[in-house]
Structure 1
């Protein structure tokens, strides 16, 4: 059975970092894959020194630049894509809010400040047009508590909840089982960072790392990493890739493990739905209609 997927993310590069395996795997399987991005990531930190002038503290042209990075990344992986509110001379309806506590959060255009009903109506229009079998987005804490990720979760749930019950696709949140997160850290510790300037991750795992029993579905496909890497390399303002690792501007190494996992969301409450089976199942089994 061919699937139609819609993945909704906050900023360009989120789709390739958090769900790049899913994208590459399902494109290779012949499924129809769409990405909706809610902002242009204007507040992102810039890695290449020669592009530092693009950031919000200088030229403030990073958003349009990242829009083109997204276009190239999705072309590399073969995914259809759009930005929320894009069109008629507008690149994006909303602006990247930045991290918690930063002045950019006070910008009236910030996505985290958006009226949820208004943003949900825009997302609902995309869901109705694409008519996906599954929608994939963030957990209630946005993976790592970024305000735009949390808002994306909130808006996606509201958008799908506004549909007639029979027309609602399944909605999943990206999560990582704790056993996988621990295995990835052990792998990194054993092999070391791929670049001398990178460091190993330490401390508590982010909120997206949950007990294994909360995770219901998975995509495990080491072959998909090549497609994920092709997409990540196009996001060069935000991501560096070396071998089977990548790092953001913080230079903390992360493993490209070829696996991703998910749990169902209750769109009425936004909460995770406990799995009906202790064994993780293929993503296709999350389809409910």
Structure 2
């Protein structure tokens, strides 16, 4: 699972219980933090000198985040723009905290936001970096904020839009965090009571930003929030089609799948080769139904294998088994080839199977991203292929 958050502490406040639950269940969890929280307020009086000192506060909050990750059991935490969270060929960069203030309409960006801040960054660049992490860790789902970013912080909004756009491009399910009180039927509710101690320890690690008092959180602005025993999520759009994710299969299962695909390809190749010359009587006319059905069976096997597993490897193994049998049975015996004679159906079968295999294997993989793809919609909120 990939969790995308704007600042250190967001991951624990909004999703800490779910993260700890997943880790305890043996799931691999990656936390992607977009900024280091350089412009955050500071709670403890003895640390107030850090407020306004961006680099020093960032260093402190990075250490706090590392402690929170240990409390939750996370071993893969990345900062957006670092080498392990940066599009290939891009120079590593640091996305800065944009800061915010409360205006008449709620949270709003500061007028003096740094050009290197997350809210000021090129949206396509941010999406590309998030998508790079998705490609690297192959998550079952991406989790981030709802449309408002939780409470309107500009960094939260950008993090949500970038995570959503990247998930759509990479064809990974996206789940938004549902704020308490906004739950609806169909939402996924996670009971975090069994890991509440781990979540509370992680909250205490973020001491510059909040104070844990009993079972409540006191934020830097004085707001008091209950430490919830449930965390709720809502899936965006329709779930992806069913299938097996090749990336999450272990080595042994990949070998088994490849061998079974090759064997199934050989079986289909044998049956189709034997029957490709058959004709059917339709209204007194002989119709070459055998070659049509045989080619359709070949295409269904290869296309189905590639779509179901989401990889060319299975389709290539099935094609190898299929073409090996077709080649073997097409060879001329002492009296010439009996199964594949040199007639239109025979030539169509031997050439057609090879053409289908090449097309299915070479067809571009859906979800491949590039700067051009990401730059198509520069404004947050745009979906894939929208104007």
* TM-score of the pair, normalised by structure 2: 0.55
Deviation at 1:91, TM superposition (A): 8.9
Superposed counterparts of 1:76-91, under 5 Å: 76-79=71-74, 80-87=76-83
| Other structure's SS at 2:116 match | coil
Say if 2:141 is the partner of 1:149.
no
Alignment equivalent of 2:230, drawn from 254, 259, 273: 259
Which whole-Å deviations, capped at 9, do the CAs of 1:86-115 have from their partners, x for residues lacking one?
Answer: 249x9962101111242343x101101111
Asked if the contact 2:80–2:129 (Cα under 8 Å) also holds between the matched residues in 1, the reply is yes
Alignment equivalent of 1:241, drawn from 201, 212, 218: 212
Gaps of 5+ in 2: 85-90, 101-107, 240-309, 311-387
CA distance in 2, matches of 1:218, 1:96: 30
User: Compared with structure 1, are the counterparts of its residues 247 and 50 closer, same or farther at alpha carbon in structure 2 (3 Å cutoff)?
Assistant: same
Task: Compare relative contact order (CA 8 Å, sep 6+) and give the higher one, 1 or 2.
Answer: 1
Asked if the contact 1:40–1:92 (Cα under 8 Å) also holds between the matched residues in 2, the reply is no
Deviation at 1:252, TM superposition (A): 2.1
CA distance in 2, matches of 1:86, 1:251: 33
Match of 1:52 in 2: 48
CA distance in 2, matches of 1:61, 1:103: 22
CA distance in 2, matches of 1:16, 1:244: 14
Structure whose CA Rg is larger: 2
Alignment equivalent of 1:222, drawn from 169, 189, 193: 193
| Other structure's SS at 1:212 match | coil
Gaps of 5+ in 1: 179-209, 267-272, 275-288
Superposed counterparts of 1:250-289, under 5 Å: 250-266=221-237
Match of 1:102 in 2: 110
Structure with the higher helix share, 1 or 2: 2
| Other structure's SS at 2:217 match | strand
Deviation at 1:70, TM superposition (A): 0.6
Deviation at 1:11, TM superposition (A): 0.2
| Other structure's SS at 1:230 match | helix
Asked if the contact 2:149–2:160 (Cα under 8 Å) also holds between the matched residues in 1, the reply is yes
| Other structure's SS at 1:172 match | strand
Which whole-Å deviations, capped at 9, do the CAs of 1:213-267 have from their partners, x for residues lacking one?
Answer: 4x5211013122111111111110001012211111122221112101011124x
Match of 1:73 in 2: 68
| Other structure's SS at 1:103 match | coil
Say if 2:232 is the partner of 1:231.
no
CA distance in 1, matches of 2:142, 2:54: 35
Which whole-Å deviations, capped at 9, do the CAs of 1:188-210 have from their partners, x for residues lacking one?
Answer: xxxxxxxxxxxxxxxxxxxxxx2
Alignment equivalent of 1:18, drawn from 10, 14, 18: 14
Match of 2:169 in 1: 162
CA distance in 1, matches of 2:72, 2:15: 12
Say if 2:81 is the partner of 1:93.
no
| Other structure's SS at 1:82 match | strand
Match of 1:39 in 2: 35
CA distance in 1, matches of 2:112, 2:31: 25
